[in-house]
Amino acid sequence: MKKILTWILYVLAIVPLIVAKGYFFPYISGKNLLIRWVITVFAVLLAGYAWYEKDFRMELAAKAKALFKNPVGLFVGLFLLANSISSFFAVTPYRAFFGDIERGEGLLGLLFFFFVFVGMGLLFEHKDWIRFFKISLGVAVVMFFDALIDFMHGVVRPASFTGNPIYLAEVFLFALFAAGVVFWDHYKNSKREHIKTGLDLFWLISTPIIAALSLWGIFITETRGVILGIGASVGVVLLYAWWAGKHKKIGSQSVSKIAAWLLLILVVCGGLFFATKNISLWQHIPGLDRLTHATFTDDSTQTRLISAGVSLRAVSPSLNGWQKFLVGWGPENFNIAYNTYYNPKYFEYENKWFDRAHDKIFDVLVMNGAIGLVVYLGIWISLLWLVVRKREFSFTKLVILFFGVAYFVQNLTVFDSIVTYVLWFAFLAYVIHEVSGDRWFVPSERNQDKQKVLSNTLTAVFSITALFFVYALIFWTIVPFSQMGSYLELIRSRASMSITQLESAFDPILHPYTYAQDVIRTSFLDNVRDLYQETKREDEKQLILFAADQVHDLLVREPNSPRYWADLGNGYDALGKAGLTEYFPLAQEAFRQAQLHAPRRQDLYYARAYNLAFQKKYDESISVMQQAVALDDKVALSHLYLGLVYVSSGLPNYDLGFEELQRSMELNPGLYQQNQGTIAAYYTLLQYYYNKHDARAKDCALVLEYMVPEKKAGLDMIIKNIDSGVWQYIQFK
């Protein structure tokens, strides 16, 4: 049975390969399903075997005691506790516990990941770790060649089966670590037996090749955080080798001396790279080309710095009190904190909805508070302490240090995901195993009674956990995933169904309310909101209202998301623009509610302003857009939309509209590529200024040449007339 249990856990090594295309977020959903199925089956069999076999029960108790006496194990357990406390005090406790479909985390997800750590920590012996790492290496090879095929077909940053090049790079980073462990294991075997078996030779040759492929894979993903992490980890590893390798020799030279020379070479090469990063050579090397553009002023860095500032404000005791500072906003509640303290400067670079800080430290700080951050850092500090507490050089410790530093550093630019959580918790369990070896705590005879009580208690805990996972798998995983699958299938076939049939078919999709409902309901409204505009049919109008009602019900349950309110507003707005003007006020109210939860997001101002403009309430629309501009005068989109509203409002505001449009183009000419609304506005201004013999007509014509180059001949004629001062009559269409 123990062998069966360990083989079940081996399945987790293939998690990065799993994709389920019948659901939302297929690169996450499939992995989530596999993890929950595997852990549930494992937990049930583990609990059953523990009750059946006394010796196994006693062994588990002894190993569990040793696992959580280890400082790494202790801090991992405390991190779960910190997340539990944060979930209890969360702004939206429902979302804190269940997480969302896109991430597959929340406290519930963390419980499954934690049991990966527990299961491997209690059952894996040395041979099991080697098998798990070998499977991981096979997975990395499959993903490398899949990514390479994409790369050869012109995909700039391939993502393979992960859906994100960053996650793929993290899988390759783990493969570098696994390759080191497997290589060293077979190298020791060959030395111990004084003969290399065929299996030893295979792995001694293949692991360096797989490591090289993984490193190549990291560079073709062009993931700067992982590349910087590797650079930092190589430096730290060489420092460790210099510090601990004085009495260890390679040939006639000590490891310390070799490490010192390599460290010097690393520093020189790093310095040369940054001194020459602008030369063309580096622009032709994948990974390094993006690294050469990394500065404190590039868009990616700026958005992360802005996010860091928002995160610090979100946990400031003076702004939010001590509770949020100590225990945070709750798991999966980062988006609420981020929108509450949104920095309008972010719109200078992009206008996405952030649900993570793109920095693990700030993620933990905001969601779990200062207590959670201290515990999280405690995991890493205790791991480092285990490696360096004795000044003894060890290749295994060197490999552990390499992955630990690289993973920690790269997580300063991104965050953990369901793709990497299994690998991270497996790594932590392996570190504990390597420190303790196979020599687990064995109770003395006089402690047998206490050990028996402990083993029975632990088995009861495992049984309750198994029942919990079974319930979670059925009602909190299979049910919501079934709802997703049914929804996507229904959307594909809805054209042949009446509104009554659709409402009936939607009932099992919408009920019971699960953590997939936010995605299902907002997607449904987004899919149908423009139908009435196209067909003007009463049943299509009723379908939009039905979808809007479902989003409204979502907001009754989870009212703190400005994004949901904006979705509802867009639904009502679509009906208003299609001629049902009675829905404009409902849209306006939804947008106002969104602004209550994100008072400084410019896109919510844009939505309100356009809603008012469609109602011909131009003065109010202009006022709202002026407020958006005032949030940050350097955001081109704000000036563009204000200019369009000015032009739409009529002749008295044409000059103001022209100034705003020109200002937006100065800030970001890229906004003007085939933008139909902007093209129409500039044609209106061109006609107005040309008929007035105003030189600003030339500016309008030049902009239109940029936006509609196919009209260049006619526009050149207009520009020639203006330059010559002729102002020949033109019949504008």
Contact 337, 329 (CB under 8 A): yes
Give the pLDDT confidence of 305-359 residue by residue, as tens digits.
Answer: 888 899 999 999 999 999 999 999 999 999 999 999 999 999 888 888 888 888 9
pLDDT at 318: 92
Stated as kind and residue range, the H or E segment containing 253 is strand 253-254
> Tokens 């993984």 correspond to what residue?
214
Q: H helices of 357-478, where? A: 360-388, 395-410, 418-436, 448-473
Contact 590, 549 (CB under 8 A): no
Q: Identity (one letter) of the amino acid at 252? A: S
CB count, 10 Å around CB of 510?
A: 18
- pLDDT < 50: residue spans in the chain: 438, 440-441
What dihedral do alpha carbons 96, 98, 99, 105 form, nearest 10°?
110
Tell me which residue of 680, 652, 650, 682 sits closest to 665, measured CA to CA. Answer: 682
Q: Helices then strands (H, E): number in the chain? A: 34, 2
CA distance 282 to 273: 9
What secondary structure does DSSP assign to 346-377, as a single string? GGGT-----SS-SSHHHHHHHHHHHHHHHHHH
Q: And the tokens for 406?
A: 């690289």
pLDDT at 440: 47
Hey, where are the domains in the chain?
2-456, 494-724
Q: How crowded is the C-beta side of 443, counted as CA atoms within 13 Å?
A: 20
Give the pLDDT confidence of 383-440 residue by residue, as tens digits.
Answer: 999 988 888 888 889 999 999 999 999 999 888 899 899 999 999 999 998 876 545 4
pLDDT at 438: 47
pLDDT at 733: 65
Q: What CATH number does the domain located at 494-724 have?
A: 1.25.40.10
Residue 335 makes CB contacts below 8 A (sequence gap 6+) with: 353, 354, 355, 561, 563
Q: Identity (one letter) of the amino acid at 90? A: A
Length of the chain (residues): 733
Q: And the tokens for 32?
A: 């989530």
- The two beta strands, 249-250 and 253-254, are antiparallel
Q: How crowded is the C-beta side of 303, counted as CA atoms within 13 Å?
A: 16
| Burial classification of residue 590, based on how many CB atoms lie within 10 Å of its CB (0-12 exposed, 13-18 middle, 19 or more buried) | buried
Integer CA distances (angstroms), 603 to 11, 424, 598, 668, in order: 44, 37, 10, 17
Q: Identity (one letter) of the amino acid at 639? A: H
Q: And the tokens for 635?
A: 């955001």
CA distance 589 to 375: 42
pLDDT at 441: 47
3-state secondary structure (DSSP) of residue 594: helix
